[in-house]
Structure 1
Amino acid sequence: MTIEARIRELGNRHRQLDETIQREVWRPAADELQVRELKRKKLRLKEEITSLEARVS
C-alpha cells in the first residue's frame, strides 16, 4: 500500500470515528468513558496521518 493510500484510509477512519463520537455525544445518556476512548483513537489516527504526510512532503 502506498503512503498516499494509507493516508486516505486513515482519513476515512478518522471521519468515521468523528461521526461515531457525534452520535454518542448527542445520545441522551452518552457514555463519557466511551467518548473519551473514541477521542483518543481519533487523535492517534490524526497523529499518524500527520506523520505520514510529513514523510510524503
Structure 2
Amino acid sequence: MPEMPRLRSLEERHAALEARIFEEGTRPRPDSEALQRLKLEKLRLKEEMERLRLRRLN
C-alpha cells in the first residue's frame, strides 16, 4: 500500500513536532506564537494521518 510510507513519514514528523513543542514549552520564556504554529501543524498532521488510516480501512 502506498499510504504506509506516507503514514510513517507523517508519524515521524508528528513526533518531531511534539518534541519541539515540549522544548519550546519548557523554555524560561516560551514563544507563544511559535507554540501556536507548532501545535497547529501537529494538528494538521494528525488529521492527515487519520484520513490515511480511514482510507486504509475502507
The two structures have a TM-score, normalised by structure 2, of 0.95
CA distance in 2, matches of 1:2, 1:12: 17
Aligned residues: 57
Task: Spell out the pairing of 1:1-57 with structure 2 (5 A cutoff).
Answer: 2-57=2-57
In structure 1, list runs of 5 or more residues that go unmatched: none
Percent of aligned positions that are identical: 40
Distance 1:22 1:49 in 2: 21
Normalized against structure 1, the TM-score is what? 0.96
Structure 1 runs (4+) greater than 2 angstroms displaced: none
